[in-house]
Structure 1
Amino acid sequence: MKEIRLSHNLIQAAEKLIQAVARLIYSVGALIQGGLLEQYDAAASIESISGFSGMRF
């Protein structure tokens, strides 16, 4: 039973790691798509953020 429990914990840890990596990738993508890197051009930034909010991965 300990082996089954251990492998289950390992699977849960792997799932959490994958979710964390996915969130990181999504955040970087949102930064780029949202134009936050072009913070000097506020109008373009706001426009691209609002355009990005409708997109789905």
Structure 2
Amino acid sequence: MVGQAVGAVIGGILATALGAAYAMGTPAIMSLCVTATLRYGLRRSAPGKARRAESHP
């Protein structure tokens, strides 16, 4: 929840400084970058996902 609030504040500051078009695009690009950065760690911690070495027929 805190991350969403911080993102909203940053989005508001960007909207004030850059205008609406840039303010919508910039956080979207930042979100994609964060998702791409965290993708590997999130995949490893997925609950219920069996690893190949641990699964037996």
TM above 0.5: no
User: Which category describes the TM-score, using the shorter chain as reference length?
Assistant: 0.3 to 0.5
TM-score relative to the length of structure 1: 0.41
Write 1 or 2 for the structure with the bigger share of helix: 1
| Bigger relative CO (Cα 8 Å, ≥ 6 apart) | 1
